Amino acid sequence: MDSVRQRHYASLEENLAVITQAVQAGLDVRTTPLALTLPLELNRLTEILRQVGTSINLTATGLQAAPEFYALFQQRRTELTAAMEKIFADKRAVMRAENGRVLVADQLWRAVEFIGEAARTVLTISTQRELNSPAQHPHPGVSEVSATVGPVRR
């Protein structure tokens, strides 16, 4: 079981590295919800880690929170992985959320999975950009284009 968790911690760091590299390269993620959801998820992850006594605070806003969290993770890897181990070991720990109480381990697992999915999305977008694929949604006004095109019926 420990090797499985170690792989997940390593993949978390790799996924954070992918996201950080894309953010620093200025990858356009306007057609995805990542600009909004990723900073929220990273803030929730820091809140979860604070449940076991780590003192982590993100000061960056928007997508810049990803490079800040990645740098923090690299600097304090042993402390943060120990905190995650502690969370996963306590199967009954709960934290208060807006909609009631939730299991801390479950929330941590969801955050790690979300970061993995975000990294896969970023890799897909960067691959499409490298291949000069056409934009999936024209940027000026996606809703204007869809209103013009409308449903096609034959």
Q: Is the pLDDT of residue 50 over 80?
A: yes
What is residue 107's predicted lDDT score, i.e. its pLDDT? 85
Name residues whose C-beta falls within 8 Å of residue 87's C-beta, 6 or more positions apart in sequence. 48, 49, 51, 52, 93, 104, 105, 108
Tens-digit pLDDT profile for residues 72-130? 999 999 999 898 888 888 877 776 666 666 778 888 889 999 999 999 999 998 888 88
Task: Give the model's pLDDT for residue 19.
Answer: 94
Would the pTM count as exceeding 0.75? yes
Write down the pLDDT at residue 18.
Answer: 94
The residues near 46 (Cβ < 8 Å, ≥ 6 apart) are 56, 57, 58, 69
Give per-residue pLDDT as tens, 28-48.
887 788 988 999 999 999 988
pLDDT for the residue 138: 53
- pLDDT higher than threshold 50 for residue 131: yes
Please, are residues 65 and 36 in contact by the beta-carbon 8 Å criterion? no
